[in-house]
Structure 1
Amino acid sequence: MAASDYNFLLATDSYKITHYKQYPPDLSKVYSYFECRRKKGAQFNEVVFFGLQYLLKKYIAGRIVTEEKIQEAKVFYQMHFKQSVFDEEGWRKLLERYDGCLPIRIKAVPEGKIIPRGNVLFTVENTDPDFYWLTNYIETMLVQMWYPITVATISREFKKILAKHLKATSGSLEGLEFKLHDFGYRGVSSQESAALGGAAHLVNFSSTDTVAGILMAQRYYSCPMAGFSIPAAEHSTIISWGRSREKDAYEYLLDQFPSGPVAVVSDSYDIFKACKHIWGDKLKERVMERSEDAVLVIRPDSGDPTETLLEVIKILEECFSCSLNSVGYKVLPSYIRIIQGDGIDLCSVEKILKKLSDEGWSAENVFFGCGSALLQKINRDTLNCAFKCSYVESSGKGMDVYKQPVTDPSKGSKRGRLSLRRNSDGFIETVERGAGKPEEDMLVTVFENGTILKEYSLDEIRKNAQLWEEDLSPAQHNQDHSSTLDIHQKHIMNGLH
């Protein structure tokens, strides 16, 4: 399943097309790997592996080299470099010998697996000695894996925080998969970013408005419907009624959506007056007529997230009362809830939930929406993603290779052929220098010579990424969570997957 609307020969950093002239003349094998480097004091100590299947299906699998594309690349690079450096002969040999498929083998961690930073996530090598230069030619595209990995990782960190507070203040994890809503579609750089990032969030949650992510999960990860939403107002649908008819706008929404949930942004003018005098007075009976299945979700959208939300929930308590749940925390009536979608990131959601619990409120009362902090305020250095060569073969002899910059030891790279295993202490670790045992290797061959050999459904990926008891421990949240000695004996948390 290869893309037909792009030229693979042009989908790389341009300098890479000159590398076939730079390797040792007798080279026959280049073996490289991808990792999220371990960094002292890093915010995240483990990563969620996700997104490779999409890149392989969309851009790398099948017949992706044609004579027409070779000629297009030849003309382009002649103009770009102002000299003849394009390997036309090499690409034509690939076309003739492999019908335009790539003689490459990729082994990778199963998608959705949680891996401590500093470990190999996938390896790439050429399967034909004539195409040793191809391994790192595709680095540019494969390193874009940094984006879905980073989004999936951040989304899971949100899930840890939400699960911890929900469990502590309600006694269960019921509804956790809907606690963080993806509001990020409009805030990303492109449709493809929305698709990749949106799908990465769906590894951990089922709540989203980013249609592109749902479609990606459907088309590339065999999930008919991965995410869900509810009817929701925006400021234009409220202020179009005029300030004097704010109550009419709200009432109209209750009329339009009588039997299902509806979210109403309520800060167009004064969020506190709207909650106290409109929702809690003029429309109080209309609100109370609703049920848990037709819940009204009030959305503040400005001001300090913590202070505003606390004030709103106190006003709603005054107007609608509350009850205590099984673990002694306050819960609003089931027909009314709050969603905070402004100013949400990992720090603010922790702050809000802690403040709520300190004031005696259960996390059951609130939902969160996140946009740029989830899908856009990240880059390749957020998880220090890198692709490096670690092994080569020349004249039939193998050699472990590496980089070791004297100015930055953290950029030192791994050596030799790599495998990933769980050791006798339960820690996931990378075995270097070809010393790993094949039967212990967690890396799976997913691609070889143009063909995808292993696919994962979103359901499988979600199971791989599920939370465990230790994920809810505050002590583990900022520590290296790589010890999983008895992970197979642990019970999945209540209500998850």
Structure 2
Amino acid sequence: MHNLILNTDSYKTSHFLQYPQGTEYVSSYIESRGGSYPKTLFFGLQIFIKQYLTKPITLTDINEAEEVLAMHGLPFNYEGWMHILKQHNGYLPLEIEAVPEGTLVPTGNVLVQVVNTDPQCAWLTSYIETALLRAIWYPTTVATVSKACHTILDAYLSETADNLNSLPFKLHDFGARGASSEESVAIGSLAHLVNFMGTDSLSGVMAARRYYHKEMAGFSIPAAEHSTITSWGREGEAAAYANMLRRFGGKGKTVAVVSDSYDIWNAIDNIWGGELKSQVENNGGTLVIRPDSGEPVEIVPEAIERLMAKFGYTINSKGYKVLPDFIRLIQGDGVSVTSIEEILCEMKKRKLSAENVSFGMGGELLQKVNRDTQRFAMKASAICIDGEWKDVYKDPITDRVKRSKKGRLALINQRGEFKTVSRNSVDPSENLLIPIYRDGQLIMDYSLDNIRLLAMNDSVSVG
């Protein structure tokens, strides 16, 4: 699974025979052509480079690829790969430029540009497309979805809460079990952690340590699941809740307890707000109650109002009701970008501060995205034949949205507006595409802290 030569589409293996004679260089770019969000939060290239491109291919890789592709029915560029092994010690002779990770870029602009650095390897630029595009579209799309949620939560907290102190923990990653692989969890969860600091995906935390110089990128709390509550039996529901407070409560501590295994309203009105009321009020920390079924737009406001009926509330400076510090709610079922806004909108109508609730998102965050969510594509835009650069592009009459860009490109920012322009039309110092990788070496090594700071400077609107 780690043979980089075979980390491509099958048909790519025949392309070394398809370019015009005399082809020396091919330059390609990656962009988000549009999609669900008007801007994309660029993230994740460094993971791919560190994991795959800083490790050389070997003779074993070449021999395996030759054997597999012969059986698969395709030609294999044995001489080309042996040239890379002998002349470049197995490292791919490519240069990859990209915008700094954490940059929010309007769709329709270049994000990455790739060109071969050895004229004998012009075929390599397109060969890497499959792996490189996948390595970019997925984390960038997850980061963009997460940023859209951050923008919504920021707006509602600004309107209904006294401060934004709770914002970094308002959206928790619940997606580990619903993702397609452990690698997807690591990449997607880390992309979410660009915007927030709450996660239950340990793979993302480990990815931050390995790829972005962050010893601890996200945090969690002790929390119950249905099995740990229902194992006490229906008659032992109150005892199960009391056990959670006893085991995990205390000054400065937070514990979450799923409370809808049987009847969420009975749990709030008669157990938490009745039998265990004094323990909740005096445990010294914060109890977070989690509904896990029903219609979220209806359940969340009603649950908060029932908690307020039992535990009281204050009115903040914005005129909205806030539960006491010792109790909060987290909604982790049916959560999406859309439902977060719908829930917060309904809460605002009822004069309930967004401070009262946090969210957990699973499949909608890590899994219900694809390359077309932001219409990602990688296309060749320039070719050098016998020393002369020429523009190349596609322009299908059946879908003008798929018209590709021409030439060697640059990304500039003029008075706050990003523009993709010809590389030769601007001073190199204006170009926001920075060399990230060249011939096996990582040139820029970003930290998650710096990426977070850059990502904070803008917002992603929905629709």
TM range, smaller chain:
over 0.9
d(CA) in 2 for partners of 1:415 and 1:323?
Answer: 60
Corresponding residue to 2:243 among 252, 266, 276: 252
1:342-491 correspondence to structure 2 within 5 Å:
342-423=333-414, 425-432=415-422, 434-468=424-458, 471=459, 477-478=461-462
**Kindly, what percent of the aligned residue pairs are identical?**
49
Q: Is the 8 A contact 1:111 1:456 kept in 2?
A: yes
d(CA) in 1 for partners of 2:356 and 2:390?
Answer: 59
Letter in 2 for 1:44: Y
| More relative contact order, 1 or 2 (CA 8 Å, 6+ apart) | 2
After superposition, the C-alpha distances for 1:79-124 in whole angstroms (9 at most, x for unaligned) are: 001x6x2111111111111111111000001001110000000100
d(CA) in 1 for partners of 2:36 and 2:60?
Answer: 47
The alignment partner of 1:477 has SS state of coil
Q: Is the 8 A contact 1:208 1:229 kept in 2?
A: yes
Number of equivalenced pairs: 460
Q: Which runs of 4+ in 1 moved over 4 A?
A: none
The alignment partner of 2:390 has SS state of strand
Aligned twin of 1:290: 283
d(CA) in 2 for partners of 1:166 and 1:277?
Answer: 30
Structure 1 residue 19 and structure 2 residue 9: aligned?
Answer: no
Q: Is the 8 A contact 1:264 1:298 kept in 2?
A: yes
Q: Is the 8 A contact 1:194 1:210 kept in 2?
A: yes
Q: CA RMSD in A?
A: 1.2
| CA deviation after TM superposition for structure 1 residue 477, in Å | 2.9
d(CA) in 2 for partners of 1:174 and 1:258?
Answer: 22
Q: Is the 8 A contact 1:331 1:362 kept in 2?
A: yes
Structure 1 residue 77 and structure 2 residue 83: aligned?
Answer: no
The alignment partner of 2:112 has SS state of strand
| CA deviation after TM superposition for structure 1 residue 467, in Å | 4.2
Once structures 1 and 2 are overlaid, which stretch shifts more, 350-359 or 5-14? 5-14
Q: Is the 8 A contact 1:415 1:433 kept in 2?
A: no
Question: What TM-score do the two structures reach when normalised by structure 1?
Answer: 0.91
After superposition, the C-alpha distances for 1:179-204 in whole angstroms (9 at most, x for unaligned) are: 00000000000000000000000000
d(CA) in 1 for partners of 2:106 and 2:312?
Answer: 46
1:222-371 correspondence to structure 2 within 5 Å:
222-259=213-250, 260-291=253-284, 294-371=285-362
d(CA) in 1 for partners of 2:157 and 2:238?
Answer: 33
| CA deviation after TM superposition for structure 1 residue 50, in Å | 0.3
Aligned twin of 2:36: 43
Question: What TM-score do the two structures reach when normalised by structure 2?
Answer: 0.98
After superposition, the C-alpha distances for 1:420-455 in whole angstroms (9 at most, x for unaligned) are: 0011x4211100363232110001101001111111
d(CA) in 2 for partners of 1:349 and 1:478?
Answer: 12
| CA deviation after TM superposition for structure 1 residue 258, in Å | 2.3
Aligned twin of 1:58: 51
After superposition, the C-alpha distances for 1:261-298 in whole angstroms (9 at most, x for unaligned) are: 1000000000001100000010001111033xx10000
Q: Unaligned regions of 5+ residues in structure 1, if any?
A: 480-497
Structure 1 residue 156 and structure 2 residue 147: aligned?
Answer: yes
The alignment partner of 2:31 has SS state of strand
1:25-174 correspondence to structure 2 within 5 Å:
25-38=21-34, 42-63=35-56, 65-81=57-73, 85-144=75-134, 145-174=136-165
d(CA) in 2 for partners of 1:196 and 1:212?
Answer: 8
Q: Is the 8 A contact 2:411 2:433 kept in 1?
A: yes
d(CA) in 2 for partners of 1:298 and 1:441?
Answer: 50
| CA deviation after TM superposition for structure 1 residue 395, in Å | 1.0
| CA deviation after TM superposition for structure 1 residue 306, in Å | 1.3
